[in-house]
């Protein structure tokens, strides 16, 4: 079976087609160990927690129709997301013990389904008469969407249809209730929209696509209260800025993008472009995190990007990746890959500890040392979401089109890609993201003329590309795909040199909390200062100075192996302030002393002893 994340192979208005997770074998030192840890540590430990907290037991209780359902918000979805991640992991690398857990869980879920197809454990016993009575607050449709996605992943990974039949039966039940000429309603939490489109792609049942369209078209008519928080304040086609609960907004955009790829509805695409531009130019953190407000887990006003009080939910960064992946499939524009990569290496990856057992729900960009990853949460959406992302990493690296093969991410791997009815083996050799030197070996089954599209990252400059040792004519423009069209033969070799200089990034001046501050970035990695590496002073007091050069240094023995940034900074002499909160300007002394500076990747913070952390650093550089 071809286990793809989003199947656009027959989508008439998608520019790119996916390459399956199980067609790519990672050989790198960054992602491959994480997938191994996912399989051996994270998935088993999460399953044990799902059992211990009653989430899996709920399905057994629902089957027996006796007992008590122990319920927290959206518990069924946590089980479904685990199952989706486990299925993707099995597709990538089969594991007997994991397969046994998956098979057992599939049976528990299938047994809990009602005769009419309904499946929501909270309403399975005492509250059966409450079905579909509170779409705003209860998560029936949201959980259904996650069931559909788990079932699709399970089917694509194993070829086994039992859970897919459960999903179809539930989808048919929902379609019999909601739709034009039936009951009006939309989910309080979008998710089912993209799941229904993917179910349509898998089964070719047009009713599922029509239902997805219905939920998008009816949103904004006040059916779940009309609030901005729920993105129900105006119809989708009238939205001109990204607002509301960040995950809800981005999942809704995922569904609308999927509908566009099937229907070609340009009015949807125009809105999506407008929302993407608003988010990436005014409402996105440098890490690719989104949703700045604790209140409502929501997008704030334009340029409202606080650091210490950043919410930046892990799920929101993952949703950002999911939406940009769909926009990339739809349009083939590198700017979407740039955002996907940014969120993947920074905002999302920070959501899980290096040992694979602890999680962030909230991802601040500054902290005094009290914010630590947790083994679980009452609302466990983030732990079960990050494992879906990790399991899907191999599926984000390549795509195909009629013209050729697209390389989105530079990751050491071996891939066997179906193209024009024959197989092309692509081998990447690289130490990305620590090095920008990439070697791509092309081995088509037959000699043929086609294009390879190499992403030139938007953050890059002076990229050089050579084919079989000879420079190609012209250089790739940052933020685009460089098309290399030629007759490819076995053993052809492409070398890409992407310089990775240390860059100081400044915010738009309207981001007030970043005034006179800079962030450090190298390649796709955003850096931060953590107290454990900088014992000479409080990292919040450190100041970057122009004449002191920073260097990148590989450190294999800390934080799983990282490139750290080292150099000299300064710290202000605070003696003049003593117990004073305010002083006249003429009395302020700016005496400074030099200190050593070490910056680490943002994703790796809070894996050692607690202490202050900061991403936006005081600066005399501008």
DSSP string for 403-415:
SEEEE-S---EEE
Of residues 17 and 546, more confidently modeled: 17
Cis peptide before 433 (omega within 30 of 0): yes
- Separation CA 248–CA 225 (nearest Å): 15
pLDDT at 621 (0 to 100): 75
Instruction: State mean pLDDT over 37-41.
Output: 98
Which residue numbers are catalytic? 297, 381
pLDDT at 174 (0 to 100): 98
pLDDT at 547 (0 to 100): 81
* Beta strand extents in 303-377 (DSSP E only): 366-367
Question: Which band of pLDDT confidence, cut at 50, 70 and 90, is reported for residue 622?
Answer: low
pTM (whole model) above 0.85: yes
What SS3 state is found at 522? Answer: strand
For residue 398, the cross-strand partners are 407
- Separation CA 134–CA 137 (nearest Å): 6
The mean-pLDDT minimum among 301-315, 347-361, 567-581 falls in 567-581
Q: How far is CA 520 from CA 274, 458, 511, 549, in A?
A: 29, 16, 17, 12
CA-closest candidate to residue 60, choices 68, 72, 52: 68
Question: Which band of pLDDT confidence, cut at 50, 70 and 90, is reported for residue 73?
Answer: confident
Cβ atoms of 573 and 591 within 8 Å: the answer is: yes
Angle between helices 192-203 and 206-218 (to 10 degrees): 160
Looking at the chain, the whole-number percentage of residues with pLDDT higher than 90 is 93
Average pLDDT of the chain, as a whole number: 96
pLDDT at 126 (0 to 100): 76
pLDDT at 411 (0 to 100): 98
pLDDT at 257 (0 to 100): 98
Most confident of 120-124, 432-436, 585-589: 432-436
Tell me: pLDDT of 346 over 70.
Answer: yes
pLDDT at 587 (0 to 100): 87
Instruction: State mean pLDDT over 218-232.
Output: 97
Residue 592 buriedness (CB in 10 A; 0-12 / 13-18 / 19+): middle
CA-closest candidate to residue 373, choices 557, 539, 603, 564: 603
Tell me: pLDDT of 246 over 70.
Answer: yes
Q: pLDDT tens across 383-411, in order? A: 999 999 999 999 999 999 999 999 999 99
Instruction: State mean pLDDT over 329-352.
Output: 98
- Separation CA 282–CA 276 (nearest Å): 10
Cβ atoms of 412 and 430 within 8 Å: the answer is: yes
Cβ atoms of 149 and 84 within 8 Å: the answer is: yes
CB atoms within 10 A of CB 372: 12
CA-closest candidate to residue 119, choices 81, 166, 78, 87: 166
Cβ atoms of 17 and 8 within 8 Å: the answer is: yes
Instruction: State mean pLDDT over 563-574.
Output: 94
pLDDT at 128 (0 to 100): 77
Question: Which band of pLDDT confidence, cut at 50, 70 and 90, is reported for residue 589?
Answer: confident
pLDDT at 69 (0 to 100): 83
- Separation CA 200–CA 11 (nearest Å): 11
């Amino acid at each position: 079976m071809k286990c793809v994340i989003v199947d656009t192979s027959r989508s008439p208005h998608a520019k790119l087609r996916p390459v399956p997770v199980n067609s790519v074998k990672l050989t790198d030192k960054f992602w491959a160990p994480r997938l191994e840890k996912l399989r051996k540590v994270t998935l088993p430990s999460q399953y044990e927690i799902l059992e211990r907290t009653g989430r899996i037991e709920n399905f057994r209780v629902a089957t027996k129709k006796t007992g008590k359902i122990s319920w927290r918000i959206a518990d069924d979805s946590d089980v479904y997301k685990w199952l989706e991640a486990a299925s993707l992991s099995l597709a990538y690398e089969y594991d007997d013990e994991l397969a046994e857990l998956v098979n057992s869980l599939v049976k528990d879920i299938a047994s809990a389904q009602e005769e009419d197809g309904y499946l929501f454990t909270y309403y399975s016993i005492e509250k059966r008469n409450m079905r579909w009575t509170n779409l705003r607050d209860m998560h029936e449709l949201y959980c259904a969407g996650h069931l559909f996605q788990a079932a699709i992943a399970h089917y694509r990974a194993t070829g086994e249809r039992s859970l897919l039949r459960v999903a179809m039966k539930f989808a048919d039940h929902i379609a019999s209730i909601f739709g034009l000429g039936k009951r009006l309603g939309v989910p309080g939490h979008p998710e089912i929209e993209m799941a229904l489109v993917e179910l349509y792609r898998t089964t070719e049942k047009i009713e599922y696509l029509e239902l997805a369209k219905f939920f998008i078209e009816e949103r904004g008519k006040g059916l779940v209260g009309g609030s901005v928080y729920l993105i129900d304040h105006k119809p989708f086609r009238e939205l001109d800025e990204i607002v509301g609960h960040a995950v809800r907004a981005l999942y809704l955009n995922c569904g609308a993008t999927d509908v566009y790829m099937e229907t070609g509805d340009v009015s949807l695409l125009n809105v999506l472009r407008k929302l993407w531009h608003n988010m990436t130019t005014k409402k996105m953190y440098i890490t690719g995190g989104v949703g700045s407000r604790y209140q409502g887990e929501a997008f704030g006003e334009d340029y409202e990007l606080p650091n210490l009080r950043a919410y930046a939910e892990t799920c929101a960064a993952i949703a950002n990746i999911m939406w940009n992946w769909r926009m990339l499939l739809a349009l083939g524009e590198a700017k979407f890959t740039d955002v996907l990569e940014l969120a993947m290496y920074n905002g999302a990856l920070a959501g899980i500890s290096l040992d694979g057992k602890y999680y962030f729900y909230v991802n601040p960009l500054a902290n005094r040392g009290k914010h630590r990853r947790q083994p679980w949460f009452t609302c466990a959406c983030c732990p079960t979401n990050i494992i879906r992302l990790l399991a899907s990493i191999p599926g984000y690296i390549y795509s195909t089109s009629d013209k050729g093969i697209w390389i989105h991410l530079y990751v050491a791997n071996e891939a066997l890609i179906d193209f024009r009815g024959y197989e092309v083996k692509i081998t990447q050799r690289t130490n990305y993201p620590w090095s920008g030197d990439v070697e791509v070996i092309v081995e088509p089954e037959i000699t043929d003329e086609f294009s390879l599209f190499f992403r030139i990252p938007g953050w890059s400059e002076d990229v050089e590309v050579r084919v079989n040792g000879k420079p190609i004519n012209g250089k790739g423009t940052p933020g685009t795909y460089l098309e290399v069209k030629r007759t490819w033969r076995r053993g052809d070799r492409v070398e890409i040199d992407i310089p990775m200089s240390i860059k100081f990034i400044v915010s738009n001046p309207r981001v007030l909390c970043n005034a006179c501050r800079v962030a450090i970035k190298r390649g796709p990695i955003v850096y931060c200062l953590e107290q454990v590496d900088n014992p000479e002073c409080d990292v919040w007091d450190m100041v970057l100075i122009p004449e002191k050069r920073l260097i990148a240094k590989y450190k294999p023995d800390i934080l799983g192996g990282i490139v750290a940034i080292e150099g000299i900074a300064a710290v202000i002499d605070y003696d003049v302030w003593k117990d004073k909160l305010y002083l006249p300007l003429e009395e302020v002394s700016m005496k400074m002393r030099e200190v050593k500076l070490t910056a680490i990747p943002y994703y790796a913070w809070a894996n050692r002893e607690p202490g202050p952390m900061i991403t936006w650093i005081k600066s005399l550089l501008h």
